[in-house]
């Protein structure tokens, strides 16, 4: 059964936010890096047993025929080593799924793309490729990668021939148990599979055997049959009908199909998923040595209530602990977390105080810039208020905080939703003026712009900031 891209994205993003999402990667995910698909991998082996790979549909049998004829596994092992140890290109799809806050990845691929990309994102990865490894847990792991068909470094144990599939349950029995648990508790996104991929058939068979009719909803992205790929209307019509039947068959396993016309659309889907996930994370920027007409008490009340109300609406707050306001932001977030979020602090608050004690000005500026970029990179909404400091310290001279402007530039370039509370003055007002002068880029603020510019009432501003954040989270 097919569903729309937007529906799938909305449901899958919700699963990510709830910590219940998983990725199941097929060979197509690795093709973007230059790795081969099943057909290309087996082409030289098919030729050696006098078969034409273009005429074959059952790739497992091709591998088995070669194994039968050669009498040894060595050539298959060597082919895996040659193909999957080659230099590869960057792959945006893999980069995105590695950045997503997902802790469980399943794959039938032999390459190391997923685990390497996770490590690039500073995630500690626990790779499982045989049953013995399932009994141990890597301390402080951030993600688990289940390589259910083996790894290129151990080609003799890779699942490739028909015999390998038949004997799978005997050699890797615990993988079925863990997969069953994940299929019950998580929503899977199957990506990189095709209707001709033998791994998809095998995985579906496992799902049906494990779950029968009691299965959660999962999603699979597949390329639609394209008329240009066929020599005549009859062949196209046949494959189109076959695809529709297959989509309905996938629904038996709880898998809803999203069809795309081009593989590039998969990248767009992943980008939109990442963007939606980020928009659940709000960066609050603001510092103050001087509170202007607001006064200290009212300014801190605004910061506290904004954080509290955003957490109440299931947003996660990121704060750099800005001077004069940071503690109020944190107190607001914590009060709501302890009141209604079962003390799940890490799920709703990310505290990133800046490093202190750096005497060299150039070193400090460079470090702070990189720190800001890293802090904002995981957020999708940025709120700006006040933004000033005493310069130099003790001089009583108040200036607009350049760090606040820098955070605006980084957030803008990160494609964050920008919410500047201009009525608080200082750097927030300059950011507001910049936004107002370029409203074509900030159309989501059009009906709120006058309130953000002039409104002095704390509760009205809290309501507006929350409303904008909620609207853009669902956009």
Last residue of a domain, one of 223, 251, 276: 276
Q: How would you class 177 by CB atoms within 10 Å of its CB: exposed for 0-12, middle for 13-18, buried for 19 or more? A: exposed
- Same domain for 363 and 313? yes
- At 475 the pLDDT is 75
Of 243, 276, 309, the one marking the end of a domain is 276
Domain-ending residue, one of 233, 254, 276:
276
For residue 346, the tally of other CB atoms under 10 A from its CB is: 9
Q: Which is nearest to 199 in space by CA: 78, 25, 353, 45?
A: 25
How far is 290 from 306, CA to CA, in rounded Å?
Answer: 19
Q: Looking at residue 445, which CATH number applies to its domain?
A: 3.40.50.450
- Non-local (6+) Cβ contacts of 263 within 8 A are 28, 223
122 and 232 inside one domain: yes
Provide the strand spans (E) within 103-216: 104-107, 125-128, 143-147, 187-191
Q: Are residues 234 and 300 in the same domain?
A: no
Q: Are residues 48 and 115 part of one domain? A: yes
Q: Where are the alpha helices (DSSP H) in 188-227?
A: 198-211
Q: CB within 8 A of 472, min separation 6: which ones?
A: 279, 380, 381, 417, 444
**Does 62 lie in the same domain as 31?**
yes
Same domain, 316 and 366: yes
Does 270 share its domain with 284? no
Domain range spanning residue 217?
A: 5-276
Closest CA to 341 of 17, 9, 101: 17
Q: Are residues 267 and 240 in the same domain?
A: yes
Looking at the fold, whether 267 and 286 belong to one and the same domain comes out as no
Using an 8 Å Cβ cutoff, are 80 and 156 in contact? Answer: no
CB environment 205-236: b (16+ within 10 A), e (fewer): ebbeebbeeebeebbbbbbebeeeeeeeeeeb
Cα torsion 413, 417, 423, 424 to 10°: value is: -70
Rounded to a whole number of angstroms, the CA Rg of the chain reads 27
Residues 97 and 48 in one domain: yes
d(CA 331, CA 345): 12
pLDDT in the model for residue 194: 74
Based on the domain organization, do 328 and 254 belong to the same domain? no
- pLDDT score for 57: 78
Predicted local confidence at residue 340, as pLDDT: 95
> Catalytic positions, please?
149
Count of structural domains within the chain:
2
What span, in angstroms and rounded, lies between the C-alpha atoms of 141 and 52? 45
Report pLDDT for 82. 83
Shared domain check, 88 and 35: yes
CA 393 to CA 381: how far, in whole Å?
Answer: 31
Q: What is the pLDDT of residues 370-390, one digit of tens each?
A: 999 999 999 999 999 999 999
Tokens of 121: 């994102």
Number of H helices, E strands in the chain: 21, 14
pLDDT at 415: 94
pLDDT tens digits, 203-226: 777 777 766 666 779 999 988 989
Q: Going from the first residue of the chain to its last (475 residues), give the mean pLDDT of each consecutive group of 10, the final group possibly shorter.
A: 89 93 93 83 90 87 90 83 80 96 95 96 95 91 95 89 86 84 90 73 71 78 89 92 88 89 92 95 97 97 98 96 95 97 92 88 92 96 97 86 97 97 98 98 97 98 98 87
Residues 325 and 301: their CA atoms lie apart, in Å, by 9
Q: Using DSSP, state whether 338 is helix, strand or coil.
A: helix
Using CA atoms, how far apart are residues 18 and 22, in angstroms rounded to an integer?
A: 12
* pLDDT for the residue numbered 213: 63
CB contact set of 342 (below 8 Å; sequence gap of 6+): none
């Amino acid at each position: 059964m097919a569903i729309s891209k937007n529906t799938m994205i909305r449901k899958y993003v919700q699963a990510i936010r709830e910590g219940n999402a998983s990725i199941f990667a097929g060979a197509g995910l690795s093709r973007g890096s230059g790795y081969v698909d099943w057909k290309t991998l087996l082409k030289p082996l098919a030729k050696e047993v006098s078969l034409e790979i273009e005429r074959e549909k059952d790739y497992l049998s091709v591998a088995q025929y070669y194994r039968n004829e050669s009498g040894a596994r060595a050539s298959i092992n060597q082919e895996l080593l040659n193909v999957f140890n080659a230099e590869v290109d960057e792959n945006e799809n893999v980069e995105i799924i590695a950045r997503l806050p997902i802790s469980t990845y399943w794959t039938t691929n032999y390459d190391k793309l997923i685990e390497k990309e996770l490590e690039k994102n500073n995630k500690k990865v626990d790779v499982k490729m045989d049953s013995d490894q399932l009994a141990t847990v890597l301390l402080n792991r951030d993600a688990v990668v289940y390589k259910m068909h083996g790894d290129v470094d151990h080609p003799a144990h890779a699942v490739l021939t028909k015999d390998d599939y038949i004997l799978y349950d005997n050699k890797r029995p615990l993988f079925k148990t863990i997969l069953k648990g994940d299929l019950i508790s998580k929503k899977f996104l199957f990506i990189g599979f095709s209707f001709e991929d033998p791994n998809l058939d095998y995985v579906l068979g496992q799902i049906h055997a494990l779950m029968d009719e009691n299965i959660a909803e999962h999603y699979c992205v597949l390329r639609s049959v394209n008329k240009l790929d066929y020599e005549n209307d009859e062949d196209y019509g046949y494959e189109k009908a076959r695809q529709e039947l297959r989509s309905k068959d996938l629904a038996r396993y709880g898998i809803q199909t999203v069809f795309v016309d081009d593989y590039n659309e998969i990248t767009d889907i992943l980008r939109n998923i990442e963007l939606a996930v980020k928009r659940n994370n709000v960066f609050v920027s603001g510092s103050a040595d001087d509170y202007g007409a607001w006064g200290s008490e009212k300014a801190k009340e605004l910061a506290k209530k904004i954080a509290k109300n955003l957490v109440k609406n299931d947003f996660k707050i990121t704060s750099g602990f800005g001077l004069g306001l940071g503690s109020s932001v944190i107190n607001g977030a914590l009060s709501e977390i302890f009141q209604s979020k079962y003390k799940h602090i890490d799920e709703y608050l990310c505290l990133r105080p800046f490093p202190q004690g750096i005497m060299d000005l150039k070193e400090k500026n460079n470090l702070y810039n990189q720190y800001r970029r890293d802090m904002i990179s995981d957020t999708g909404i940025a709120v700006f208020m006040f933004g000033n400091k005493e310069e130099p310290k003790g001089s009583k001279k108040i200036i607009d905080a350049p760090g606040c402007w820098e955070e605006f530039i980084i957030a803008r370039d990160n494609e964050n939703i920008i919410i500047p509370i201009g009525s608080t003055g200082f750097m927030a007002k300059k950011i507001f003026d910049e936004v107002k002068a370029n409203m074509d880029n900030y159309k989501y603020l059009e009906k709120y712009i006058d309130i953000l510019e002039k409104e002095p009432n704390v509760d009205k501003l809290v309501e507006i900031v929350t409303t904008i954040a909620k609207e853009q989270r669902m956009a």
